């Protein structure tokens, strides 16, 4: 179902490049897996919507560390969202994973997301996909090049068109075109 784990070097490029490159890659946690079909870039620095714009805190420190790690945080007091730390150590940058197309462990996902009435609702949103894959706050800082939470190449490469739109759910910098989706994919969020 999935190919090789992506190496550290893959992640040490700029944030916008990674937001595009991560589309079509496979996020794997335990026996569950999904193809990344929607991402958002949070470059830090000048981008005031990035959590890292406020500087290094206990929550954001992983974003300033080496790339290829997970930045997991709690949103609205009840939802868990997952980012991938990118760019070189010392340069803040991360990519929010907003939607997946489930490709493995569907039965496990359905068990974790009883509210989902269709398979589309399993992973068509940032907090839905973490619930479906069993990603929790304890996965903060996890190394994505080894262990139970990894990102891999797809076994069979497919061509697809990429669409760019503004990011979702922001009050700051809401017009910046930093959201990337696989055009026409059914599992992209609404």
Partner DNA sequence: GTTGCGATAGTCT
Partner DNA sequence: GACTATCGCAACG
Chain contacts with DNA (rule: CB under 7 A): 40, 42, 49-52, 54, 57-60, 71, 73-79, 81, 83, 94, 96, 113, 115-116, 121, 125-128, 167-172, 189
Smallest gap from Cβ 73 to DNA, in A, equals 7
Q: Tell the smallest beta-carbon distance from residue 4 to DNA (Å).
A: 26
**Residue 85 and residue 68 in contact, taking contact as beta carbons nearer than 8 Å:** yes
Q: Which is nearer to DNA, 178 or 182 (CB)?
A: 178
Question: How distant, in Å, are the alpha carbons of 10, 115, 185 from that of 94?
Answer: 13, 29, 23
Provide the H-helix boundaries in the chain: 8-11, 15-21, 106-112, 120-123, 126-133
Of 81 and 142, CB closest to DNA: 81
- Distance from C-alpha of 8 to C-alpha of 161, rounded to nearest angstrom: 26
Cβ proximity to DNA: between 103 and 127 the closer is: 127
Q: Which is nearer to DNA, 127 or 164 (CB)?
A: 127
Tell me the two tokens of residue 80.
């868990």
């Amino acid at each position: 179902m999935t190919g090789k784990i992506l190496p550290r070097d893959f992640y040490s490029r700029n944030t916008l490049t990674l937001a595009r490159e991560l589309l079509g890659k496979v996020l794997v946690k335990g026996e569950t897996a999904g193809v990344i079909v929607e991402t958002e870039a949070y470059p830090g620095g000048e981008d005031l919507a990035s959590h890292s714009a406020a500087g290094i805190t206990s929550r954001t420190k992983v974003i300033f560390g080496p790339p290829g790690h997970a930045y997991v945080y709690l949103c609205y007091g009840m939802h868990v969202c997952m980012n991938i730390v990118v760019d070189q150590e010392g340069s803040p940058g991360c990519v929010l994973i907003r939607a997946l197309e489930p490709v493995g462990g569907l039965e496990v996902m359905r068990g974790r997301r009883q509210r989902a009435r269709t398979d589309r609702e399993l992973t068509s949103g940032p907090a839905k996909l973490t619930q479906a894959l069993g990603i929790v706050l304890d996965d903060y800082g996890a190394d994505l090049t080894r262990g139970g939470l990894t990102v891999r190449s797809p076994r069979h490469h497919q061509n697809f068109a990429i669409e760019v739109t503004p990011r979702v759910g922001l009050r700051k910098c809401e017009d910046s075109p930093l959201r990337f989706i696989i055009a026409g994919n059914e599992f992209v969020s609404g």
